[in-house]
């Protein structure tokens, strides 16, 4: 019998490291989302988890083009009347530099259960230090310019 997809049990976990230093936010986010979905593998299937884990380093050194560093606003709402919270790029980058990449990449992943699984396989760190050496991750050099 010819199988059209590879069952979930036969896919090995792969770990990759990507350095976000001086990378453009949008280009980096779209590339990371593609890799997480498994579109770069020959066993890609849109409804299966690819078991690819990505470690993003230096998230506090991310770049934005144009005047977005000054003008970009992040909004969230508590659900109560008057509960709109507005923060600028600099406020978030100084306190929680991971949140910028998390929000950008999460928006590019599928919505639903598979998207939540894929997002859990993304690890973001503001510095060059991470606790995933035991997984022997491979370094990916991205040429996004």
Predicted confidence (pLDDT) per residue in 5-28, tens digit: 666 667 789 999 999 999 999 999
Give the pLDDT score at 11: 74
For residues 87 and 100, give the distance between their C-alpha atoms in angstroms, rounded to a whole number: 11
**Roughly what angle, to the nearest 10 degrees, separates helices 97-108 and 113-120?**
140
- The whole-number average pLDDT for the span 121-138 is 96
Give the pLDDT score at 43: 79
- Backbone dihedral angles phi then psi of residue 86, each to the nearest 5 degrees: -120, 130
pLDDT at 100 over 70: yes
pLDDT at 142 over 70: yes
- The whole-number average pLDDT for the span 117-137 is 96
Give the pLDDT score at 16: 97
Give the pLDDT score at 9: 60
CA dist 125 to 2, 4, 55, 77, 88, Å? Answer: 43, 37, 8, 26, 20
13-63+96-140 CATH, one of 1.10.260.40, 3.90.1180.10, 1.10.579.10, 3.90.470.20 = 3.90.1180.10
Element (H, E) at 57: strand 52-57
Give the pLDDT score at 5: 63
CB-based contacts of 38, cutoff 8 Å, min separation 6: 44, 45, 48, 49, 50, 52
Give the pLDDT score at 42: 83
Please give the model's pTM, rounded to 2 decimal places: 0.89
- The whole-number average pLDDT for the span 100-116 is 97
Give the pLDDT score at 143: 83
- The whole-number average pLDDT for the span 122-129 is 96
């Amino acid at each position: 019998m010819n199988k059209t997809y590879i069952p979930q049990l036969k896919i090995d976990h792969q770990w990759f490291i990507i350095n976000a230093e001086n990378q453009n936010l949008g280009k980096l986010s779209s590339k990371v989302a593609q890799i997480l979905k498994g579109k770069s593998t020959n066993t890609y299937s849109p409804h299966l988890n690819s078991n690819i884990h990505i470690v993003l380093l230096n998230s506090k050194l991310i770049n934005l083009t144009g005047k977005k560093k000054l003008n970009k606003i992040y909004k969230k709402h508590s659900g109560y009347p008057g509960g709109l919270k507005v923060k600028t790029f600099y406020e978030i980058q100084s306190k929680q530099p991971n949140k910028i990449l998390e929000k950008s990449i999460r928006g590019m992943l599928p919505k639903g259960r598979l998207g939540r699984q894929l997002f859990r396989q993304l690890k973001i760190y503001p510095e060059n230090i991470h606790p995933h050496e035991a997984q022997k991750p491979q370094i990916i050099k991205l040429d996004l310019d």
